[in-house]
Every structure is written in C-alpha cells, then in structure tokens.
Amino acid sequence: MAHIRKRGKTYSYAIDIGSDPLTGKRKQISKGGFIKKKDAEAAARKIELSLDENRYIELSKEIFSDYILKWFNDHYSNRIKQTSAMNSRYILEKHLLKKNLFANKEIAKVTTSDIDLFYNQKLQENYSTSYIRKMHQLLYQAFSQAVKWKKIIFNPVGDADPPSVKYEEMSI
C-alpha cells in the first residue's frame, strides 16, 4: 500500500517493496514532485501493479564499464573458446571501455541513441562494417544478460542500427 503525502506544494509517494535479503532492512521506493495528488496516486498504482505481477525491476546504478568487465570475466569468457575470448577482450578493452560515449554511464541510462552514436563514431574512425558488427554482437549479448539478471528493463542494442556489412570486390 502506497503512502501519499504533501511536501510543500508537491506530493510524493512511498511504497514498501519488501526487505533487503542481506541486511533484513526495509526497502522502499519513493518519488516526489507531483503537482496533483491524483498524479502521485496514479504513479504509485503503476508501481504497485508491477509489484503484484512480479514485474517490478529496480534499475541498476552500476556503471557500464564496470558491468561489462564483470559480465565478460565472470560469464561470457567461460562460455566461448579461448581464441574467441582473446579477440573479444581486445574489442572490449580498445572500444567499449574507453573512447566510448556511454562508458561512464549507468547501464540503465544507456539509450539506443547512445549505441547508434557509438556506431557512427566508429564508422567515422574508418573501422570496417564487419568489425563494428562484432562490437554490436558483444554489446547485444552483454545487455541481454543484464535484462536476464534484472538490472535493466530492455536491451537498448536490440533497437540500434549497426551498419550493414559491405563487401569489397578484390582486384586481381
């Protein structure tokens, strides 16, 4: 049950979402800044509905570069061949951890637009379209796992537009 209260000229809500499994302390969601009480009640109802249907996800505040390193080392590299892992690690270290618009962003705040800008940046740096596709594949797998681990709601890479692979004819 949500608790609605007035703070100054605006309304806010607070909802209990259970307790922290490690500490046993009560966990709450709260949000304020609603002009009308009805708006606060409607927003609280949406949260309560997702809690009732077991669909509520508390978005992760983990930084992208920290997440992708942890994902790569603890999950991905154990499931592929060693040579593939070495190639993927090079892409990860050279392109995804540095010189990247969203490297220091929270993973829940990375948008499809950020991903598309990243691809455009790599095209301007004259990387091949097939190489950018490999970056896309690695990003897609990392964000898909974040969805499975309930760190984010959806995969922003799924809607991104990586460049299509262009094959150049060889001259003999």
User: pLDDT tens digits for the chain (172 residues)?
Assistant: 788 899 899 999 888 877 777 788 888 888 888 999 999 989 888 888 877 777 777 777 889 999 999 998 888 877 878 888 888 888 888 888 877 888 899 999 999 999 999 999 999 999 988 899 999 999 999 999 999 988 888 899 998 888 887 766 767 7
The domain of 106 spans: 64-148
- Answer for the pair 17, 7: CB distance below 8 angstroms, yes or no: no
Give the E-state strand segments of 3-151 in sequence order: 3-7, 10-19, 26-34
Note whether 123 and 103 are same-domain residues.
Answer: yes
Q: Do 82 and 141 lie in a common domain?
A: yes
User: What's residue 141's pLDDT?
Assistant: 93
| Cα separation, 108 vs 102, whole angstroms | 11
What's the confidence (pLDDT) of residue 149?
Answer: 87
116's tokens: 């598309």
**Cα–Cα distance measured from residue 139 to residue 95, given in angstroms and rounded to the nearest whole number:** 11
Q: What is the enclosing helix (H) or strand (E) of 167?
A: none
Counted domains in the chain: 2
Q: What angle do CA 26, 63, 87 make, to 5 degrees?
A: 135
Specify the amino acid at residue 105.
K
**Same domain, yes or no, for 81 and 144?**
yes
Answer whether residue 160 is part of any domain. Answer: no
- What's this model's pTM, rounded to 2 decimal places? 0.72
* 19 touches 25 (CB < 8 A): yes
Residue where a domain stops, chosen among 12, 29, 52: 52
Domain co-membership, 36 together with 71: no
Give the pLDDT score at 110.
92
Residue 60: the pLDDT is 79
User: Is 11 in the same domain as 69?
Assistant: no
pLDDT at 38: 92
Q: What is the pLDDT of residue 46?
A: 87
